[in-house]
Amino acid sequence: MRRIVLGLFTAVLAAAGFAVSAAPAHAGPLTPVPQLDVERYVGTWYQLAANPAPYNLDCVRDTTAKYTLLGERDVRVENSCTTITGQRRGIVGNARVNGVASLHVSFPGVPTQESLDGPSNYLVTYLADDYSWALVGDPSRVSGFVLSRSPAVDKAAWQKIRRVVEASGYNSCLMLTSPTAQGLQEIKPLCTV
């Protein structure tokens, strides 16, 4: 089963071309939004698209992130997904607020992410005015996630998501859609949606 996922990932990279990177060479570091109301931001988010990463290759549908405020600087992070075998899997971690929309997310037992303190690796770089969807990632754009309060969005919303992803310096052909039970049902490059 993992071979199927790795094969899909390899095919996407091959189709996009080996010279393509997650961000154009001229793109500066990812920057956070100037204002974030953490109390409005917490809650459940559905992943609509993401840059493939080793830790989420077996997640094939219904990927969610649930954020719960723990104190002034800490947010409980509970990520879960349905794997290629049909089972639910999850991990619980902590997000420590480093700045307005800049956090350090850590997970126990995950190499390089065990410390509660550290540099920001989770930047909210776009946030809809009504907090209905967001684009988050790390400063170098290795990670990137489109999160939504709803598991399904219409075609116009997908077009806006693609424009925002590209304007934020991401390669939309390397970001893959994340199927949800009530939304898009297939994994494909965001640039084709």
Q: Which helix (H) or strand (E) holds 160?
A: helix 155-167
Q: Which residue type does 176 have? A: L
More confident residue, 18 or 28: 28
pLDDT for the residue numbered 55: 81
Q: Quick one: pLDDT at residue 15?
A: 37
Please classify residue 177 by burial: count the beta carbons closer than 10 Å to its beta carbon, then call 0-12 exposed, 13-18 middle and 19+ buried.
Answer: buried
d(CA 16, CA 113): 30
**What is this structure's pTM?**
0.86
Mean predicted confidence (pLDDT) in 14-29: 51
pLDDT at position 18: 32
- State pLDDT tens for residues 164-178: 999 999 999 999 999
pLDDT tens sequence across 55-90: 888 899 999 999 999 998 999 999 999 999 999 999
Closest C-alpha among 89, 92, 90 to residue 108: 92
Give the model confidence (pLDDT) of 86-143 as tens digits: 999 999 999 999 999 999 999 998 888 889 999 999 999 999 999 999 999 999 999 9
Q: What is the mean pLDDT of the chain?
A: 88
Give me the pLDDT at residue 94, please: 97
Interatomic CA distance for residues 174 and 32, integer angstroms = 21
The burial of 179, by beta-carbon neighbours within 10 Å (0-12 exposed, 13-18 middle, 19 or more buried), is given as buried
pLDDT confidence tier of residue 26, bands split at 50, 70 and 90: low
Tokens of 103: 């956090």
At residue 22, the pLDDT reads 55
Extents of the domains making up the chain: 2-192
pLDDT tier, 23 (very low <50, low <70, confident <90, very high otherwise): low
Fold of 2-192: Lipocalin (2.40.128)
- Identify the three-state secondary structure at position 166: helix
